Amino acid sequence: MEIHNTKEEIVINKVTEIFDSLEKDENWENFCTCDQCRMDTASYVLNRTAPRYIVSNRGVVHTELEVHERQQTDADIAVLVYEGLRRVNHNQRLVSHGGYKTDNIPPDNRPVFNIPTVVGRIFSGINFAPLSNIKIELCRNGELVAMKNLNWQNPYIVAANTEGTFSFWPKPVRAESSQCHRIFEYSVHINTPGYAELNHFFKIPVISEIQTAGSFSIDRTFKLPDLYLFPPGVEDRDDFIDFPD
Residues in the site for Zn ion, rule: CB under 5 A? 32, 34, 37, 90
Nearer residue to Zn ion within complex by CB, 6 or 91: 91
Nearer residue to Zn ion within complex by CB, 32 or 147: 32
Of 174, 76, 85, 189, give the one whose Cα is nearest residue 142.
189
Cβ partners under 8 Å of residue 237, min gap 6: none
188 vs 52: CA distance, rounded Å: 34
Nearer residue to Zn ion within complex by CB, 52 or 101: 101
Nearer residue to Zn ion within complex by CB, 31 or 186: 31
Nearer residue to Zn ion within complex by CB, 39 or 157: 39
- As measured in angstroms, the least distance from the Cβ of 23 to Zn ion is 12
Residues facing 229 on adjacent strands: 124
Residue 84: its H or E element = helix 67-88
**Burial class of 1 by CB neighbour count within 10 A (0 to 12, 13 to 18, 19+):** exposed
167 vs 85: CA distance, rounded Å: 12
- As measured in angstroms, the least distance from the Cβ of 161 to Zn ion is 20
**170 three-state secondary structure:** strand
- As measured in angstroms, the least distance from the Cβ of 32 to Zn ion is 3
- As measured in angstroms, the least distance from the Cβ of 38 to Zn ion is 8
- As measured in angstroms, the least distance from the Cβ of 34 to Zn ion is 3
